[in-house]
Amino acid sequence: MVSEGRGRASADAAGMEGAVVVTWAEFAEAAPDLAAAGLERIKRSEIVLVGSLRKDGSPRISPVESDIVDGDLMAGMMWQSKKALDLVRDPRCVVHTTVHDRMDAMGEFKIRCRAADVQDPKKRDRYGEVLFARIDWRPEGQFHLFSFDIESVTHLHYGDLKKHFTMWTPGSGLVTRVEDP
């Protein structure tokens, strides 16, 4: 369960009712094992899939690189790219880890989020530093930077011929379930 006062209502540019969201650091404090497994997955592939909404409300999937920067899950995007404009228009999104094959034993992480448009120069600098430390490159000029405020995290994987389901939300904490696939 998230500590008192950690969860907060998201500011929603699309005017929809705000969900309770937390930073990656707050999620990791509340559910350290799940967060560690998710982070390992994100770091291993260096790519995540971001699901966003087009102007007409239909879905879009975009691969992006993401990093944890001072406790926030972040992704930089090319200036005026379609996925970035999606997130500016409607911050509801899902960050999905890659799977290696149909039988991927590590399973999949689904992180439902609200994307926050990061304008703070200090945070943008820090993002550049973290990115440079990883790939020897940082964006120059204009670019979009989003931090992903987390509504829920779900981990699904298959093992022992069963489907293993773990979900964490700020309000309900960890819920686990094992089902026949």
Partner 1 sequence: MATWREFADAAPEIAERGEKRLRFGVAYIGTTAKDGSPRVHPFTPLIGGGKLLALIATHTVKYANLLRDPRYAIHGWLGESDEEFAIIGRAAVSDDWATRMQAAIEAKKINMTSKNDVAFEFTIESAHCAIWEGLGTPNIRRRAERWP
Interface residues with partner 1 (CB under 8 A) are 47, 49, 51-53, 57-63, 92-94, 96, 98-99, 101-102, 104, 108, 110, 112
Query: Measured from the CB atom, is 29 or 158 closer to partner 1?
Result: 158
Query: Measured from the CB atom, is 36 or 135 closer to partner 1?
Result: 135
In whole angstroms, the minimum distance from the beta carbon of 52 to partner 1 comes to 6
Contact 167, 38 (CB under 8 A): no
Taken in order 79, 82, 86, 89, is the CA torsion positive or negative?
positive
Q: Which of 95, 83, 55 is nearest to 144 (CA)?
A: 83
In whole angstroms, the minimum distance from the beta carbon of 5 to partner 1 comes to 26
Task: Give me the long-range contacts of 43-47 (CB less than 8 A, separation at least 24).
Answer: 45/97, 45/98, 46/134, 47/98
Angstrom distance (rounded) from CA 181 to CA 158: 8
User: 66 by DSSP, 3-state: which?
Assistant: coil
In whole angstroms, the minimum distance from the beta carbon of 4 to partner 1 comes to 27
Query: Measured from the CB atom, is 8 or 158 closer to partner 1?
Result: 158
Angstrom distance (rounded) from CA 88 to CA 105: 35
Query: Measured from the CB atom, is 58 or 119 closer to partner 1?
Result: 58
Query: Measured from the CB atom, is 3 or 80 closer to partner 1?
Result: 80
CB-side neighbour CA atoms (13 Å) of 102? 0
> Cα–Cα distances in Å, from 122 out to 127, 143, 167?
9, 15, 33
Query: Measured from the CB atom, is 58 or 142 closer to partner 1?
Result: 58
In whole angstroms, the minimum distance from the beta carbon of 102 to partner 1 comes to 5
In whole angstroms, the minimum distance from the beta carbon of 22 to partner 1 comes to 17
In whole angstroms, the minimum distance from the beta carbon of 63 to partner 1 comes to 6
